[in-house]
């Protein structure tokens, strides 16, 4: 569906005021453009989806900075491209060195991948704190976090389980992650 500049600008203005329906409209209208762009770059469905979600999350957080003299789609794609570049840079920061087979086997014979008792306690404490923080969210947000990150369901599976359109699931998940981040920062 092609939308006019006037309708788009109205939704952008309403989104700047925090209107959730306008956020949903923008997400629904531009999701496939950003997702397809990232799919071409990453060649991976999960990575493209994750970067697209991050792109919309960042765009919605920074929507006040959007300048109408530019195209909204171009602005979104630019955000998406920058997120992807940042992820690539982060992955390239690991140091690559040449090692012999003897050196590798020596290292693997020493390294113990099992967490130490201290690591186990820290992990359990962090998980317990995370679960307490999640419980502070509204039930609808708790549910999508639970389904996505603990049951590892896809957006489509979550959509079917809670009987809502997939775009609503995406927006709820974005909102839930943002609210959870705020709770974690406060505690």
> Are both 88 and 116 inside the same structural domain?
no
> Are both 22 and 65 inside the same structural domain?
yes
Contact assessment for residue 16 and residue 59, using Cβ atoms and an 8 Å cutoff: no
For residue range 4-13, list pLDDT tens digits in order: 889 999 999 9
16, part of any domain:
yes
64, part of any domain:
yes
Give yes or no for residue 177 having a pLDDT over 70. yes
By CB neighbour count within 10 A (0-12 exposed, 13-18 middle, 19+ buried), where does 133 fall?
A: middle
Domain end, chosen from 57, 92, 127, is at 92
Residue 12 belongs to domain with CATH number: 1.10.1740.10
Question: How many whole angstroms separate alpha carbon 56 and alpha carbon 158?
Answer: 19
Give yes or no for residue 111 having a pLDDT over 70. no
Q: How far is CA 60 from CA 12, 25, 56, 113, 122, in A?
A: 10, 12, 6, 40, 34
Q: If pLDDT is split at 50, 70 and 90, which confidence band does 127 have?
A: confident
Question: How many whole angstroms separate alpha carbon 128 and alpha carbon 75?
Answer: 39
By CB neighbour count within 10 A (0-12 exposed, 13-18 middle, 19+ buried), where does 135 fall?
A: exposed
70, part of any domain:
yes
53, part of any domain:
yes
Give yes or no for residue 107 having a pLDDT over 60. no
**H-only helix segments in the chain:** 5-16, 20-42, 45-61, 72-92, 101-110, 117-135, 139-145, 155-162, 166-186
pTM greater than 0.75 (yes/no): no
> Are both 29 and 65 inside the same structural domain?
yes
> Are both 79 and 119 inside the same structural domain?
no
98, part of any domain:
no
Give yes or no for residue 114 having a pLDDT over 90. no
26, part of any domain:
yes
> Are both 43 and 119 inside the same structural domain?
no
> Are both 129 and 176 inside the same structural domain?
yes
Count how many domains the chain has: 2
Domain of residue 166 covers 112-186
Residue 137 belongs to domain with CATH number: 1.10.10.10
Contact assessment for residue 175 and residue 141, using Cβ atoms and an 8 Å cutoff: yes
């Amino acid at each position: 569906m092609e939308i006019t500049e006037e309708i788009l600008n109205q939704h952008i203005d309403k989104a700047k005021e925090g209107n959730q329906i306008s956020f949903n409209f923008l997400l629904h209208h531009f999701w496939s453009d950003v997702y397809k762009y990232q799919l071409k770059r990453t060649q991976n469905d999960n990575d493209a989806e994750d970067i697209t979600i991050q792109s919309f999350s960042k765009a919605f957080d920074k929507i006040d900075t959007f300048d109408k003299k530019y195209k909204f789609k171009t602005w979104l794609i630019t955000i998406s491209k920058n997120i992807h570049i940042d992820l690539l840079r982060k992955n390239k920061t690991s140091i690559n060195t040449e090692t012999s087979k003897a050196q590798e086997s020596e290292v693997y014979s020493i390294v113990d991948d099992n967490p130490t008792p201290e690591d186990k306690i820290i992990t359990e404490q962090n998980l317990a704190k995370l679960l307490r923080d999640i419980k502070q969210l509204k039930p609808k947000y708790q549910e999508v976090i639970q389904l996505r990150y603990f049951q590892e369901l896809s957006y489509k599976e979550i959509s079917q389980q809670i009987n809502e359109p997939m775009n609503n699931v995406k927006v709820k998940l974005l909102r839930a992650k943002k609210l959870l981040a705020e709770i974690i920062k406060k505690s």
